[in-house]
Structure 1
Amino acid sequence: MTTTHTVTRIDDALGGYYLSLVADGDDRGAAELVTGLLDDGVPPQRIIVDLIGATQAAVGELWAANTWTVAREHAATAAGERALAAIGARTTVRPTRGRIALACVDGEWHGLPARMLGELLRLDGWRVDFLGASVPGRHLITHLHQTGPDAVALSCMIATRLPRAHAAVTACRAAGIPVIAGGRGFGPGGRWAERLGAHAWASTGEEAVLRLSQNWPPAHDLPDPEYLGSEEYTHLVRSRPELISTAMRRLAAAYPAAHHYDPAQVDSTAEDIGHIVDFLASALYVGEDDIFLDFTRWTVDVLRAREVPPNALRAGLHLIRDQLADFPSSAALLTAALAELPRT
């Protein structure tokens, strides 16, 4: 795409062209496009939010709709990372606000949203220590003791990581460092972030920049976070391997189509059953049924796009519920999910 006039904003045509570049895995082309926009005077914040961020959201939707493969989604993400790096290489801002540690919680591998936040914070005058994806809690705390940042920003995109997010928030608070949380894993409106002890939550990178630039850290003292988890949660986590293996042994009897699964389908099904257990565990930990029910509703749409009938998910839910008959909260939540499934 070549232009004969100065580009001053991100429009649909430009977004479509950038999507075509990352769809082809053209990371060089993506980087050249964003540097050209910088040369034209487009603010780097707008490129990050309206081009790279918006395109990455579209990439996720294309994967969910089964239009793109996982491999293509990963290639597009890599192209987005190079484009973001190109912005960082072309923009210099002197740190004036303080130092912030930015990390994805342990087990969270969606690093690009956090990296975009890091660039937005840097452009706003923060010194940013971007620690990357899936940062173990003990290593995060070691970094905090070594560097003494003014704040910690934690990213969690998937609700199954909430127990580990809680551990990280608790450790940061014990070290005396306030936490701002972000990512859809914390629930609609970030409603689970405060329950886990975070000082603030932001729905977007721009909102996080604004929150951190005004009245930070929060003047009020937060109460100690409530105890989370239960005996059922503990049992579920400890029994996870057995729950999955037992479900897989019984799968063909519960869902006859599984008799014809090839090895790849068997592995994929075991992974899907693992997701059922993990989301159920997270719902029990936080005490929020919607964590699990939102997952099953989303899974129905993803399976439909792949022409997999709801009965496949129904069988998986039954196979887990049958093993948890003596655990009332788990059984009730699985029953509620089953009642919502469409009939075929």
Structure 2
Amino acid sequence: MSGATGTGARAEDEHLALEKLAEDLWKAVSVADERAATDVVLDALDGGADPESVLLDVIAPVQGRIGAEWAANRLTVAEEHAATAINERAITAISLHPTARTRVSRGRVTVACVDGEWHALPARLLAEVLKLRGWQVDYLGAQVPAPHLIAHLHSTHAEAVALSSSIATRLPTAHAAITACQAIGVPVIVGGAAFGPGGVYAGLLGADAWAPDARAAAGLLAAGPLPRPQLDHQQMDDLPHLADQEYTLVTRSSGSVVRNVFTALESAYPAMRRYDEAQRERTAEDIAHIVEFLATSLYLGDEDLFAWFIGWTAQILESRGVPARSLPPTLGLLERELKDFPRAIRTLRRGAHTLTAGNTV
């Protein structure tokens, strides 16, 4: 009993120590102090901290805090980028530390972000954890086009591909990459916020495995080789709702839809007439993001994804002092533009209901 109590006390002490390290790292990255941030992680390793724990229990939560602070408008985009870059360099410092040097004792894995995905830090964390656990890792970084990924796999014969995506609008591209990898017999494990709660979209898009975080992904790969995929169907069979062509047609016409809605919004929402040029540009970008998420929801056949995005957008606008009341007229104008697309209409109305019901994130 006393042994168990002692073990629990040590675990609690380690947890508190990691929390303090995370707070120290946050203080450094939040003021863009790269030297202090690097000192935090290197001093921890010199003091006997486990490299994997520093990666996943210190750097990862700090990165999550960076995103939350940006969403709450307490960090600018530039400050968020600077903080992320410092975290990246802290990871590099860890990877070069003597305690992080491990010999290759397992197979070969490719880690990459899907094309169009710039948020590379989660994939980088996974790559470093896999190296610590003895894997030979090819880390390809952000936004890797599928043809380049496939060419790489042909030359390296990796046992598996780990694909990361944080933004749901990259899921159609992720689907193409998953299918391409499987077509040459390489199984795919996916992760990242884009794949939804519980990895719901991972299964929908036919991934061979999903993991909620780097530890879980490393555990799945260590448990045994992922089964080699056996493709006997096409993408359209995976997502039969795509047969109505709504996703394709909305995507192809997105540019004109955004322009038409922006022009009409000036009449429907008189406050826009007082916007300066920067505000007008941001409004056009917001409309484009709404259309992009609408198209992704059509691809996945999931109206809830669009409703979530509209709720999140309302929260982001309010945090920046922009009234979210511009969203309902925008959705109404989109409905008018896309009147010939029944699934798009239903999805837009689902988003509008989220606003009227107050179901923002």
Q: Contact (CA 8 Å) 2:21, 2:40: kept in 1 or not? A: no
CA distance in 2, matches of 1:241, 1:279: 14
Q: How big is the shift at 1:16?
A: 1.8
Question: Superposed, which structure 2 residues align to 1:201-240 within 5 Å?
Answer: 201-218=210-227, 224=233, 226-228=237-239, 229=242, 230-240=244-254
Match of 1:127 among 122, 126, 136: 136
- Structure 2: which amino acid aligns with 1:157? S
Amino acid at match of 1:31: T
- Alpha-carbon spacing, 1:223–1:290, altered in 2? closer, same or farther (3 Å): farther
Q: Distance in 2 between matches of 1:261 and 1:183?
A: 36
Range 139-148 or range 167-176, more displaced: 139-148
Amino acid at match of 2:282: S
The verdict on how the C-alpha distance between 1:272 and 1:220 changes in structure 2, with shifts beyond 3 A counting, is: closer
Q: Is the 8 A contact 1:63 1:73 kept in 2?
A: yes
- Amino acid across the alignment from 2:180: A
Pick aligned residue for 1:15 from 16, 22, 42: 22
Kept in 2: contact 1:179–1:198 (CA 8 A): yes
Point out where structure 1 has 5 or more consecutive residues left out of the alignment.
1-6
Quote the Cα distance in structure 2 between the aligned partners of 1:92 and 1:222.
Answer: 38
* Alignment partner, residue 269 of structure 1: 283
User: For residues 1-344 of structure 1, what are the structure 2 equivalents within 5 Å?
Assistant: 10-90=17-97, 91-218=100-227, 224=233, 226-228=237-239, 229=242, 230-342=244-356
Q: 1: CA distance between counterparts of 2:305 and 2:353?
A: 16
Letter paired with 1:96: S
d(CA) in 1 for partners of 2:121, 2:228? 31
Q: Aligned in 2, Cα 1:25/1:290: closer, same or farther, shift over 3 Å?
A: same
1:191 alignment partner, SS class: helix
Q: Give the whole-Å Cα distance in 2 for the aligned partners of 1:39 and 1:108.
A: 34
Report which of the two has the higher share of helix: 2
Residues 13-45 of structure 1: per-residue CA shift (max 9 Å, x gap): 332221110011112221121111001111011
Separation in 1, partners of 2:228, 2:179: 18
State how far apart, in whole Å, the 2-side matches of 1:323 and 1:100 are.
45
Q: Alpha carbon RMSD of aligned pairs, Å?
A: 1.7
Q: 1:343 to 1:185 in 2, by over 3 A?
A: closer
What CA distance in whole angstroms lies between the structure 1 residues aligned with 2:91 and 2:20? 20
Q: Partner of 2:9 in structure 1? A: none
CA distance in 1 between counterparts of 2:357 and 2:260 reads: 25
Q: What residue in structure 2 maps to residue 4 of structure 1?
A: none
The Cα of 1:220 is off from its aligned counterpart by 8.3
* Per-residue deviation, residues 117-168 of structure 1 (Å, max 9, x unmatched): 1101110111111111111111111111111111000001111011000000
Shift, 1:343, TM fit? 7.8
Residue 248 to residue 33, structure 1, CA distance change in 2 (3 Å): same
Give the equivalent residue in structure 1 for 2:3: none
Q: Aligned equivalents of 2:256 and 2:161: distance in 1?
A: 37
Per-residue Cα deviation, 1:302-328 (whole angstroms, up to 9, x for no partner): 112112222112222122111001111
Q: 1:223 to 1:197 in 2, by over 3 A?
A: farther
How far 1:342 moved relative to its partner?
A: 3.9
Contact 2:185–2:228 (8 Å) recurs in 1: no
The answer to whether the Cα contact below 8 Å between 2:172 and 2:296 also exists between their aligned partners in 1 is yes
1:219 CA drift (Å): 7.3
Moved more, 292-301 or 69-78: 292-301
User: Which sections of structure 2, spanning at least 5 residues, go unmatched?
Assistant: 1-12
Q: Is the 8 A contact 1:102 1:114 kept in 2?
A: yes
SS in structure 2 at match of 1:134: strand
CA drift of 1:221 comes to: 5.6
Distance in 2, matches of 1:323 and 1:24, equals 45
Give the TM-score of the pair, scaled to structure 2. 0.90
Describe the shift of the 1:271–1:319 C-alpha distance in structure 2 as closer, same or farther (beyond 3 A). same
1:199, 1:222 within 8 Å by CA — same for their partners in 2? no
Cα distance, 1:200 vs. partner? Answer: 0.2
Q: TM-score, normalised by structure 1?
A: 0.94
